[in-house]
Amino acid sequence: MAELESVGVLEKKYSRRTFIKGVIATGATVSSASYIVPGPNGLRAATVQSSTERLITLRVNGQDRRVDVLPHETLAMTLRYKLNLTGTKLGCDRAECGACTVLIDGVNQYGCSILTHQVRGREVTTIEGLEDADTGELSVVQQAVMDEGGFQCAFCAPGFIMSMTAMVNQNPNVTREEARHALSGNLCRCADYDKILTCAMRAAELARSV
């Protein structure tokens, strides 16, 4: 009987899984596995309870910022929840989408997949750091996006803009094909890819004329 069989299958599965002990008979700890990703060091939430924060200095957008950081804390979390730099987005928290992209010493990296402690002494740039703080002038990439009306919902935009920034800094003569490759670590669910590439080419053009 199909119904009974499916129940039996479940029983086997859940009694086998080591972190669930005897769900059916006695009740047990169930992992919903739904919460924050353990992070690259694989720490689980229950074990991090005992870990302690340490006060460190970060160099973010040209400023020294003093902040208490857990050993396993990701840069994206520190930026968003401790430094109130919420321009860096979390789309997946697991190196799948690029919404969290920031620059570390000018190189684009996923902020969700790098530990805050790893960037001590390094130059961190976020989307908030691209505008000229004094004049409000946009960076060439931001200006290019304004010119071309880039993005739809724009949740991916900060990440893309950071990747584009690294790209044009490295090679202002980038071709459309190369730009696609350089930006392929970022995902746009609205799939505004065509316009994003047009923005990238405009950014390269502006970068060349600076």
**Interface residues with ligand FES (CB under 6 A)?**
90-93, 95-100, 110, 112-113, 151-156, 188-190, 192
CB of 193 to ligand FES, least distance (A): 9
Q: Name the one range near another protein by CB under 8 A: 40-48, 103-111, 114-122, 202-210.
A: 40-48
49 near another protein (CB under 8 A):
yes
Of the pair 58, 151, the CB lying nearest ligand FES is at 151
Site for another protein in 3-32 (CB under 8 A): 3-4, 6-7, 9-11, 13-14, 20, 23-24, 26-32
Of the pair 92, 201, the CB lying nearest ligand FES is at 92
> CB burial class (10 A; 0-12, 13-18, 19+) of residue 71?
middle
Angle, alpha carbons 167-59-184 (nearest 5°): 25
Choose the contact partner of 48 out of ligand FES, another protein, none; CB within 5 to 8 A by kind. Answer: another protein
33 near another protein (CB under 8 A):
yes
Tally of CB atoms within 10 A around 55: 8
188 near another protein (CB under 8 A):
yes
Residue 62: CB partners within 8 Å, gap ≥ 6? Answer: 129, 133
CA dist 49 and 54 (Å) reads 14
User: Identity (one letter) of the amino acid at 184?
Assistant: S
Residue 145: CB partners within 8 Å, gap ≥ 6? Answer: 151, 157, 161, 199, 203
Of the pair 17, 208, the CB lying nearest another protein is at 17
Of the pair 119, 159, the CB lying nearest another protein is at 159
128 near another protein (CB under 8 A):
yes
DSSP result, 121-155: TSEEE-GGGSS-TTT-PPPHHHHHHHHHT--SS-T
Q: Given the structure tokens 């803009």, which residue do they identify?
A: 161
Contact pick of 65, 82, 122, 180 for another protein (by CB under 8 A): 180
